[in-house]
């Protein structure tokens, strides 16, 4: 693993993102727009208070979902382009190693995800009444950072099965719908049946919500959730390792 | 000075190389040695296995059976070590379209650990006559311009072996000639240039040619020797009558024809390399 090569890939990925205004719009403005939209919908729904749902307590777990979704889809599309355009082969022949390419992608997209997460958190802080947001910021940032890495790895993994950008689309709901339903964001994880819990363990968002939901919804101390943060880190690392195996030259 | 093949080390050697994709046999037991310091043409119609051969040399494919040797190693097993010594130009340009020409080149130069990637990138853009377009994104380039950027990418680290997959596709005739003179200059500096093409007129620039069809070798020779396999059509005007002959070995047969009495005029049409290769391909089909 050569650091210079990782940085070269990361820089190139960021340069490409910068050159594509649609990409920047999609990745930075859309997540904030979703957060705003959610606020407008929740405000227009007075029944929410009566059934005891606190929008502020759910804003960050929902924000994590938005970051996950965008990082996953964008990384998948970027790598499919790389595979179908022949530039992946060219990188490999130009002596870039698989691990360097994967980590370079992580550097590039995690930088994007960091900016994105910053904007989402600021939007949430402005719109919602989130209890003790600033005190809990370190754990939020840690979760979002690790979740972004897992999302990128998942995107890279999915890209290996697609032969064109269009073939990515069926994979979007395949990850996103279970994430939404099973991660603990909408339905408490403990209330799922065991087969659904097992299924939920496959999607990265579950590991992030393991940390965020108890902290923000139930007021658990952040320190209590550190083991789950470690689990998220392990999951992200494992997914990255698997994703790097799929970069193997076609044989 | 003429050198026979045994005098020169092989830069590339295919030994019983076979590659199967699913139900398709792309290359079927190819034996081929490519001498160091030559321009070697892989010639054949689409689907003849040229691209498979080049990708196997890059280590991008593992042979189904047989071996592919490049320089002092196995093209697939030793690819990590060998790749710094080969330049690869894929069939399609394979560039980052949103990036400028210079950004594309600098990126691949960093991969190849070229010292001062930017300067080297500028040098090569000069070589392919695109210095003035260096700062423009590649998506605005014509097909031929993209091919030139792609060629520049393959030359960044002055590799001893160049693998060029249809390098002149979509390039206009003038530039095509310039590209071939670049390949010649590289060969003269000792590089081995392996070029696949289905442009038969270009094959004349190669030192040796392999004619492939459906993954099999039909012929392997110098362009001149291949041309000698061609036939000649001789039209004679003798005593007011026109007669035509088809000669397989016209250098030997023509004098006898001309020696006859009453020959008033003669016209000789020799097969072009294209005729020879197309006949080889057709005979292979039969």
Residues B206-260: tens digit of each pLDDT: 999 999 999 999 999 999 898 888 888 888 888 888 888 888 887 888 888 787 7
Continuous H helices in chain B: 50-57, 79-82, 101-111, 117-127, 143-155, 173-188, 223-228, 250-259, 273-285
Contact B99 A12 (CB under 8 A): yes
Q: Which residues of B touch A (CB under 8 A)?
A: 55, 58-62, 80, 83-84, 86, 88, 90-99, 103, 107-108, 110-113, 137, 153
Give the CA angle between residues A77, A144, A142 to the nearest 5°. 140
Task: Name which of A26, A242, A4, A237 is nearest A116 in CA terms.
Answer: A26
Q: pLDDT tens across B112-163, in order?
A: 999 999 999 999 999 888 999 999 999 999 988 999 999 999 999 999 999 9
Q: What is this structure's pTM?
A: 0.88
Task: Name which of A82, A93, A74, A99 is nearest A23 in CA terms.
Answer: A74
* pLDDT level of residue A250 (50, 70, 90 thresholds): low
Q: Does A97 touch chain B (CB under 8 A)?
A: yes
Arithmetic mean of pLDDT over chain A: 89
Whether A1 and A44 have beta carbons less than 8 Å apart is answered as no
Q: Who contacts A241 (Cβ-Cβ below 8 Å, separation ≥6)?
A: none
Taking 70 as the threshold, does the pLDDT of residue B6 lie above it? no
The angle, 0 to 180 degrees and rounded to 10, between the axes of the packed helices A55-84 and A204-217 is 160
Residue B174, SS3?
A: helix
Contact B94 A5 (CB under 8 A): no
Taking 60 as the threshold, does the pLDDT of residue B87 lie above it? yes
Work out the minimum CA distance from B85 to partner chain A, whole angstroms: 10
């Amino acid at each position: 693993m050569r650091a210079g090569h990782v940085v070269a890939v990361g820089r190139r990925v960021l340069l490409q993102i910068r050159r594509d205004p649609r990409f920047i719009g999609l990745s930075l403005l859309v997540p904030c727009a979703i957060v705003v939209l959610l606020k407008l919908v929740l405000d227009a729904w007075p029944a929410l208070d009566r059934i005891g749902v606190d929008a502020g307590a759910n804003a960050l777990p929902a924000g994590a979902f938005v970051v996950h979704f965008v990082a996953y889809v964008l990384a998948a599309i970027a790598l499919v382009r790389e595979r179908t355009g022949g530039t992946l082969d060219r990188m490999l022949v130009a002596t870039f190693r698989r691990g360097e390419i994967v980590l370079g992608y992580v550097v590039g997209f995690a930088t994007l995800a960091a900016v994105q997460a910053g904007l989402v958190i600021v939007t949430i802080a402005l719109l919602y009444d989130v209890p003790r947001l600033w005190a809990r910021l370190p754990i939020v940032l840690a979760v979002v950072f690790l979740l972004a890495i897992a999302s990128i790895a998942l995107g890279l993994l999915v890209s290996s099965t697609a032969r064109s950008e269009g073939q990515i689309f069926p994979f979007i709901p395949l990850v996103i719908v279970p994430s939404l339903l099973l991660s603990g964001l909408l339905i408490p994880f403990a209330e799922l049946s065991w087969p659904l819990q097992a299924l939920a363990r496959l999607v990265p968002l579950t590991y992030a919500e393991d940390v965020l939901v108890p902290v923000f919804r139930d007021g658990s101390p952040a320190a209590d959730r550190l083991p789950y943060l470690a689990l998220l880190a392990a999951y992200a690392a494992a997914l990255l390792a698997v994703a790097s195996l799929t970069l193997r030259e076609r044989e | 000075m003429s050198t026979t093949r045994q005098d020169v080390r092989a830069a590339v050697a295919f030994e019983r190389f076979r590659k199967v994709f699913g139900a398709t046999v792309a290359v079927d037991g190819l034996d081929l040695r490519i001498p160091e310091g030559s321009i070697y043409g892989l010639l054949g119609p689409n689907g003849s296995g040229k691209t498979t051969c080049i990708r196997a040399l890059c280590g991008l494919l593992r042979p189904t059976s047989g071996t592919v040797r490049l320089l002092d190693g196995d093209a697939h097993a030793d690819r990590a070590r060998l790749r710094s010594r080969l330049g690869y130009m894929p069939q399609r340009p394979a560039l980052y379209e949103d990036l400028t020409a210079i950004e594309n080149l600098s990126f691949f130069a960093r991969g190849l650990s070229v010292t001062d990637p930017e300067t080297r990138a500028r040098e090569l853009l000069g070589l392919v006559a695109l210095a003035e377009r260096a700062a423009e994104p590649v998506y605005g380039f014509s097909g031929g311009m993209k091919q030139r950027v792609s060629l520049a990418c393959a030359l960044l680290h002055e590799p001893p072996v160049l693998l060029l997959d249809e390098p002149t596709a979509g390039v206009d005739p003038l530039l095509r000639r310039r590209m071939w003179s670049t390949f010649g200059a590289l060969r003269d500096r000792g590089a081995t240039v392996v070029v696949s093409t289905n442009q038969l007129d270009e094959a004349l620039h190669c030192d040796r040619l392999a004619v492939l069809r459906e993954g099999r070798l039909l012929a392997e020779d110098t362009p001149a020797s291949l041309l000698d396999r061609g036939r000649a059509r001789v039209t004679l005007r003798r005593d007011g009558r026109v007669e035509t002959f088809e000669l397989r070995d016209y250098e030997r047969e023509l004098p006898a024809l001309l020696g006859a009495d009453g020959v008033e005029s003669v016209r000789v049409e020799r097969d072009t390399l294209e005729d020879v290769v197309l006949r080889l391909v057709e005979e292979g089909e039969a």
